[in-house]
Amino acid sequence: MKKELRYFTIPNVLTLLNLTAGSLAVLYAFETPGRLSYAAMFVFAAAFFDFIDGFVARLTNSVSKLGKYLDSLSDIVSFGIAPAVIVYQMLKAALELKEFTTDLPYNQVLVLLSPLVLIIAAALRLAKFDADRRQSDNFMGMPVPVSAVFFASLPLVNNFDPDNLIILKSWLDINMPFEFILGIIGLQVYVLTNIWFYIISIFVFAFLQLIEIPMFSFKTDNYSFRENTAKYIFLITAVLMFTFFQSLAIPLIILLYILFSAGIDTGKLFSRKQG
């Protein structure tokens, strides 16, 4: 007897909230390009629901093929299309363009179309994840939410007020070097208005999603500190970085995730050779 498909299980509802948040991110990115931080917040919300739905599905023993496919369909919107639109709007701002037209020089057209690479990479990555049985505990290639969070964080970095860090440093009774403040402003003015930063980042993160390099996951039934030491160190470090540097820390945390994943894999390889 064919098992009845249940649409509105708790995990599926959480997945639909992921899809809703991602759709709102796309809407805000298109309609309010001057306030991309709103779109970014919806991408972060989608990432939260994406993590929770799998956790709840395993906790309630309600993992299903329907939920798996629904999750991937939601992810392509939230972590493929939404960050691509955010980057598209930031590229328009960097090029000082108000709208996309066919009359633009071909090099500008190619630059504005480059975020499509993020959507294509996300689609390929999600299709591979659904078909690859090796990724139950860890990932082979960068998960699409990680890439999406990196690009969604850029508007927050761009709009970040260094005075927020001054207040934090004053509360901790630590003097902040003026050069550090200038460095933040330089990052906002130069890096985030440089189209090559976006183009290189797009292709690097697309490559990381498709290449077969192990990336660690927090989806586990074993929460032993001894067996997950590196993961817990990463988590503690990430929390401290975010506490002290706020939204400035998000891109750095993503880079730290890549380095920790490489370190964990290298450690396992070394252990096997020693054994």
Q: What is the pLDDT along the chain (275 residues), one digit of tens a residue?
A: 455 567 778 888 899 999 999 999 999 999 988 889 999 999 999 999 998 887 787 777 777 778 788 888 999 999 999 999 999 999 999 998 888 888 889 899 999 999 999 999 999 999 887 776 665 567 788 899 999 999 999 999 888 877 777 666 666 656 666 666 777 777 777 778 889 999 999 999 999 999 888 887 776 666 667 767 778 888 999 998 888 888 888 999 999 998 888 776 555 544 444 44
Domains of the chain: total: 1
> Model's pTM, two decimal places?
0.86
Whether residue 60 lies inside any domain: the answer is yes
d(CA 146, CA 75): 11
Structure tokens at 98: 């108000």
Whether residue 2 lies inside any domain: the answer is no
Whether residue 177 lies inside any domain: the answer is no
- The Cβ-side half-sphere exposure at 7, using a 13 Å CA radius, reads 1
Structure tokens at 181: 């403040």
Whether residue 75 lies inside any domain: the answer is yes
Q: Tell me, what's the pLDDT at 220?
A: 62
Q: Which of 32, 118, 31 is nearest to 78 (CA)?
A: 118
d(CA 154, CA 41): 11
d(CA 269, CA 153): 33
Domain hosting 25: range is 10-159+190-274
Whether residue 224 lies inside any domain: the answer is yes
- CATH number of the domain enclosing 27: 1.20.120
Whether residue 184 lies inside any domain: the answer is no
Whether residue 176 lies inside any domain: the answer is no
250 neighbors 149 (Cβ within 8 angstroms): yes
d(CA 17, CA 41): 14
